[in-house]
Amino acid sequence: MGTVSFYPGPSRVYPKVKRYLQDAYRNNIVSINHRSDEFVEISKSTIRLLHEKLNVPDDYTIYFVSSATESWEIIAQSLIKEQSIHLFNGAFGKKWFEYTARIKPGTTAKPFTLQEKLKPAAFTSGDTLCITQNETSNGTQVTNKLIQQLHAKNPNHLIAVDATSSMAGIELDFTSADVWFASVQKCFGLPAGLAVLICSPAALKRAEQVNHRQHYNSLLYLHEMMQQYQTTYTPNVLGIYLLKCVLESAKPIKKVSSTIKSRYKKWESFFDTKSNQLNFLARSKAVRSHTVLAIEAPVAKVQQVKAAAKEAGFLLGNGYGEWKNTTFRIANFPAIQRKEIARLMDFLYGFI
Ligand SMILES: *Cc1c(COP(=O)(O)O)cnc(C)c1O
């Protein structure tokens, strides 16, 4: 048996990806032209399936881009007028803020700690609010409810949400924000090199006001090309095809979400009640992510667990950023199988 990856990205891909790759090669998908009818059919089906399986509202539009990082750039160039405000508690939210600040110097950071919830305040400055729904670096999340409250208090701000390590794993209320994005190498269970960017009608209106047209990935160009289910550049056709295949057999997000939550609950009881030495980095249950678990322990313990896990055929995620040496991470993504989780739990019993 090979190593099972519990790394929270790039992560375990669905085992059926092997067959889809073979089909793609056999059926020559790997060399089709991105302006051909064949590509347009694949693209159109994929967009339809994203709406259907993830519950994306009909009036929200979906675009193919190359990564979450590119989405940060598109938002900064095409959607932020003068100033965005970034509410974050971890390394990815901070990186997004720093990246945006280089493009829009007026950008402001509103950090909060990982032991507290995001506060849905009413903002009197800024035109765009940026939040990281699932902070992959420390295993915390912002609930749909808090995003709804933030939206209600800031009806004139655009709200952009990084859902890279939760989209396709948990149910997101897309109507509560204007821009959502995720790359596919996390919860989608696919190889890296593709991301989806989802925009509300208000986001498109904003793009028209900003009228940014200096870059190939300006949202207005992406939108124009998407009218024909195409992209402004030669896209990752294989990635889009694999996404289509995975979505075709995916359960509706409500169902997936409830599986993820019940698996998370098992992990929660494991670490909270059975273990003294391995603890959630986030103390409060209310802020913990359901898809990425960050587990804290003394440095030597973390090293010991990771090394032994490797020997036993499990790849655990390293700690990230300031929690690099004092945590390890466990992905709770849909592509991971129930029996694999049971095996990892059995293994971890030796270290609690
Ligand atoms: C992984 C990750 C990113 C970066 O994704 P790329 O596909 O490498 O651009 C951004 N934000 C979050 C929350 C992530 O987990």
Q: What is the pLDDT of residues 286-336, one digit of tens each?
A: 999 999 999 999 999 999 999 999 999 999 999 999 999 999 999 999 999
User: Rounded mean pLDDT of 11-23?
Assistant: 97
| pLDDT at 148 (0 to 100) | 98
At 65-92, the pLDDT tens digits run 999 999 999 999 999 999 999 999 999 9
Q: 103: part of which helix (H) or strand (E)? A: helix 91-103
> Domains of the chain, with CATH numbers?
4-12+252-351 (3.90.1150.10), 17-249 (3.40.640.10)
What angle separates helix 91-103 from helix 68-78, to the nearest 10 degrees? 40
pLDDT band at 279 (very low <50, low <70, confident <90, very high): very high
Give residues (CB < 6 A) around ligand 1.
9, 67-69, 92, 132, 136, 162, 164-165, 183, 195
What angle separates helix 299-311 from helix 338-348, to the nearest 10 degrees? 130
Ligand 1 centroid from CA 349, angstroms: 31
- At a CB cut-off of 8 Å and minimum separation 6, what does 347 contact? 308, 309, 312, 314
Ligand 1 centroid from CA 265, angstroms: 25
Atom of ligand 1 nearest to the CA of 132: 13
| pLDDT at 40 (0 to 100) | 98
Distance in angstroms (rounded) separating the CA atoms of residues 281 and 172: 24
